[in-house]
Amino acid sequence: MPKCHIEPDRLPKHIAIIMDGNGRWATERGLPRTIGHKRGYGAVRRIVRAAGEIGISYMTLYTFSTENWKRIEEASVIMELIRHAARRELSDLQKNNIKLLISGRIDDLPAPTRNQLLANREATKNNTGLVLNLAVNYGGRLEIVDAVRQIARKAADGSISPDEIIEETISGHLYTPEIPDPDLLIRTAGEMRISNFLLWEIAYAEIWVTPVLWPDFTRQHLLEAIADYQRRRRKFGGIGDMTKAGI
């Protein structure tokens, strides 16, 4: 794979990734699907490290969707893997000045996994480097439902008028309103769909799909995605002189 040249002054501020292909990676090798998830954890470690070194400000990883509970045996293994990874990675998060956030219905997670994630979030809250947002027990439609419920309660008690509700109102009630919308959405394993991920937030994101399965995704693939992003003309619905990507 040829080296990719990227321009440091035009990096995407926020990269979101649909980490697809763990199970397929294992199946192709005659291994249990759960082995693929463990190998996928290795890819998470190297890509998060690479993002911090490159200078990415925010990264959101689609870690576990609300639909994944249908895979009963896999789900329990993944929950334990997330708990183990969170405990193991805390020291590295601190060493690399990474701030951890969590998007999703956290309260519905198994207590050991939930408690470890929340402990990591609390421990890293003052870090000032890469913001790593894990979408765990996450669904894009449910995120919007939860936001609408919050706004509806405020409308019911009179703290907001229905006529005052604008796009920023919705954005401000999503799971992580403190981070900007993604500029670049990466999907591995070649599937051409969004899979209920960040439905509100990716309205203007550039999308980059690769056939590479997530356990095989490397720093070089990340650089390739960023280089492609920088070659694009982002117009946000306009037709002006925005001839450079990232403007």
Q: What confidence tens digit (pLDDT) does each residue in 223-238 have? A: 999 999 999 988 776 6
Residues 20, 22, 133, 137: which is the catalytic one?
Answer: 20
In the 8-state DSSP scheme, what is residue 11?
-
Phi, psi of 85 (to 5 degrees): -65, -40
Decide if domain 12-141+180-231 falls under CATH 3.80.30.20.
no
Average pLDDT over residues 187-196: 98
Contact status, residue 66 vs residue 146, Cβ threshold 8 Å: no
Using pLDDT thresholds of 50, 70 and 90, give the confidence band for residue 242.
Answer: very low
- Give the DSSP H/E element, type plus range, for residue 131: strand 131-138
Using pLDDT thresholds of 50, 70 and 90, give the confidence band for residue 1.
Answer: low
> CA 37 to CA 22: how far, in whole Å?
5
Mean pLDDT over each residue of the chain, to the nearest integer:
94
- Give the DSSP H/E element, type plus range, for residue 85: helix 72-95
The identity of residue 85, as a single letter, is: A
Contact status, residue 197 vs residue 62, Cβ threshold 8 Å: yes
**Out of 3-7, 33-37, 82-86, which region has the weakest mean confidence (pLDDT)?**
3-7
- pTM of the complete model: 0.93
Residue partners of 143: CB distance under 8 A and separation at least 6: 103, 104, 174, 175, 199, 200
Q: Tell me the per-residue pLDDT of 127-150, one tens digit each, with 9 for 90 and over.
A: 999 999 999 999 999 999 999 999
For the chain, which residues make up each domain, given as ranges? Answer: 12-141+180-231
108 given a catalytic annotation? no
Look at residue 2 in the predicted model and tell me its pLDDT.
61
Contact status, residue 33 vs residue 203, Cβ threshold 8 Å: no
Average pLDDT over residues 75-95: 96
Residues 22, 68, 133, 137: which is the catalytic one?
Answer: 68
126 given a catalytic annotation? no
Token readout for 174 is 């999503």
Lookup result for tokens 């463990």: 38
Using pLDDT thresholds of 50, 70 and 90, give the confidence band for residue 5.
Answer: confident
